[in-house]
Chain A
Amino acid sequence: MNEQQIRAMVADALAGIAPEVDLDTAGADQDLRQALDLDSMDFLNLVIALSQRTGRAVPEADYPRLFTLAGMAAYFAH
């Protein structure tokens, strides 16, 4: 999955969690929690939403790999 695809998927997931955010303001290597004012519950809900969309279970130990868009793209690349 490339960065454009992951951006589209994250934007779609965030529309149900934090519809006020503008994902374009977040750089690929920025921690989304700071860049978008997401709290830990938002982040948890985002991971669940991504897991549903990709059909991949995300164990808690992997959460730190999903803090940035670049990290997400790499994580869901295969």
Chain B
Amino acid sequence: MNGQDNGDAARRVYDVIAKHHSARLPAPHLDDYRRVCAEFSWEQARGMLSGLPGGGLNIAHEAVDRHATGARAERVALRWLGRTGLRRTLTYRELRDDTNRFANALRALGVQPGERVFVLAGRVLELYVAVLGAFKAGAVVCPLFSAFGPEPLATRMSLGDARVLVTTQTLYARKVGALRERLPGLRHVILLGEDNAPSRVAGTHDWATLLADQSSDFDIVPTSADTLALLHFTSGTTGQPKGALHAHGAVLTHHVTGHYVLDLHDEDVFWCTADPGWVTGMSYGIIAPLSNGVTNVVVEAEFDAQSWYGVLQDEAVSVWYTAPTAIRMMMKLGREALAAYRMPRLRFMASVGEPLNPEAVVWGMEAFGMPFHDNWWQTETGGIMIGNFAAQDVKPGSMGRPIPGVEAAIVKRTADGALEIVTMPGVEGELALKRGWPSLMRDYLNEHARYEKCFAGEWYLSGDLARRDADGYFWFVGRADDVIKSAGHLIGPFEVESALMEHPAVAEAGVIGKPDPMAGEVVKAFVALKAGFEASEELRKQLLGHARNRLGAAVAPREIAFRDNLPKTRSGKIMRRLLRARELGLPEGDLSTLESDER
């Protein structure tokens, strides 16, 4: 059978997956899209939060303390499944006590409100305690991905002026220890020992020892909706990673999207598969489910389709938030593998990270009896902005419609710098969002000019190209820049090129995203060598190892190709767009700026 025909047939059958409203229990929160959108206001939604007792707002109070003193005190807040089969739970009350201990520990160390606490660990409960405890102490939390190599870690901790780092003994030994000299501002490193043994490493604190004598009472530092709470690094086309700053007020977006998009209800068991080293794992693996007071499942092990099905069944997960790469790997395994599992509680499945292909949305219907609901947002937006909803028709391949309280549009930037709103359906342009939702980034760290460039008047410009259809559904078209999206992670080509350029053999490097059936894109590097170096398989492996040592598996290239010369503009800028077009066999486009061509 011809694959193209097959795809077309699938699309014909499933233009729309219609939702029938009658027999849904519990009743979806977003039952009537138009009515809820018309009636919604952020001011009114603020009533879904409780606020600090003395006024003000703190994420940890909304996510932990208000439940710990109420009817949910003895409910399991975090249910942790360890790699070796171990299980641990923390109730909301226990989570309040532990986060208070950590907040007290930070205070005892002299950490001031506004100082940065970085976390670098796999999915262990202490990471969740550290994040929430740091919010209580008024610190700004910055998550790091544990698969980063030393270079991305050093860059981010240095740019972010890390004062405290919470990590594991193993990660410290492997990646961080050697960086200490480069990080003079990093005053305290707190280590989680292996297998519950205390860590004994010079120049660091042991987590358990540090917390042991701390009181489980703590008065949350009086933060407001505008007090900075989170620093998330994200990648751009050029230069260093951008540090998007978010304030405590963002918790309102997390709560509201947990309510309306993930459709969280009081009795739900929720599982977000994203790692808390990235923004999805922070916003939806920690904050949104806890703010909504549900039981949040944390799985330490890496992806494996069959053990994931085991988690869905055994933990009776009712709402599941996952990612396209994982879904495509499950598709590859085939739905027969699901036959042995029963998941009667599973009610809603969502996906984010990169556009979910229509076949994967439809596969959800065949395999789980419900579609995957794709949604769209960015580090900068802080929370879900556009989504497919539980009780609303799904158009496979579409990112859905704006959430209540968010206005989205397709815009074009005109030659004179003004903005033109595209009203005609189906026309491609840049996806823009009107300011006014609470989790929009407050700044890029130390780069206010770069931040200003993201806005035109009232509109935040996403850098994503999209179109809107006549029913108001948005469809992703592509990125307006060269940023690479691999397995849901944003990768800046500049960071990869810089690491390659550090190798003595490399004269020039150009890095692109190459389409990949599993990961969406994989990182491919084109390299030109300095005089005196010969391209060889041996050197290719050397460069690959060099890049992986510095960047880590998640960021390093999967492929390296040698060239005698890379295409450049007159000013010497490598034309990644052209490398990519040629790699993909696409039209080369405007070549007027090309000065020195690829050889």
Point out residues on A near B: beta carbons under 8 Å.
15-16, 18-20, 31, 33-34, 37-42, 44-45, 60-61, 63-64
Contacts and interface: CB of A to CB of B under 8 A. Distances in A.
Contacts of B332: 60
Interface stretch (B283-291, B365-373, B448-456, B546-554): B546-554
Contacts of A45: 558
Nearest to A36: B553
B337 A61 contact: yes
Given A19-B545, A60-B329, A60-B333, A41 B304 contact: no
A64 B307 contact: yes
Nearest to A60: B333
A37 B544 CA distance: 14
B542 A44 contact: no
A40 B303 contact: yes
The main secondary structure of chain A at its interface with chain B is: helix
Contact of B544 (A19, A31, A60): A19
Interface in B264-297: none
A-B CB proximity, top 9 nearest:
A20-B545, A19-B545, A60-B333, A19-B541, A39-B553, A20-B549, A20-B548, A40-B303, A60-B332
Contacts of B250: none
Contacts of B174: 37
Nearest to B174: A37
Given A33-B302, A41-B553, A61-B337, 11 more contacts: A16-B541, A19-B541, A20-B546, A31-B83, A40-B302, A40-B303, A41-B519, A44-B518, A60-B305, A61-B306, A61-B333
A13 B369 CA distance: 39
Contact of A38 (B337, B486, B549, B553): B553
A42 B553 contact: yes
Interface residues of B, number: 31
A31 B548 CA distance: 19
B553 A37 contact: yes
Interface in B528-585: 541-542, 544-546, 548-549, 552-554, 558
Nearest to B301: A31
Given A60-B334, A61-B306, A64-B306, A37 B552 contact: yes
A60 B332 CA distance: 7
A61 B337 CA distance: 7
- Which interface residue of B83, B546, B553 has the most chain A CB atoms within 10 A? B553
A44 B486 CA distance: 14
B304 A64 contact: yes
Contacts of B522: 41
A33 B337 CA distance: 23
A16 B518 CA distance: 19
Contact of B518 (A41, A61, A64): A41
A42 B552 CA distance: 11
28 contacts: A15-B541, A18-B544, A18-B545, A19-B542, A19-B545, A20-B544, A20-B546, A37-B552, A38-B553, A39-B553, A39-B554, A40-B302, A40-B303, A40-B329, A41-B486, A41-B518, A41-B558, A44-B329, A44-B518, A45-B558, A60-B305, A60-B329, A60-B332, A60-B333, A60-B334, A61-B333, A63-B304, A64-B306
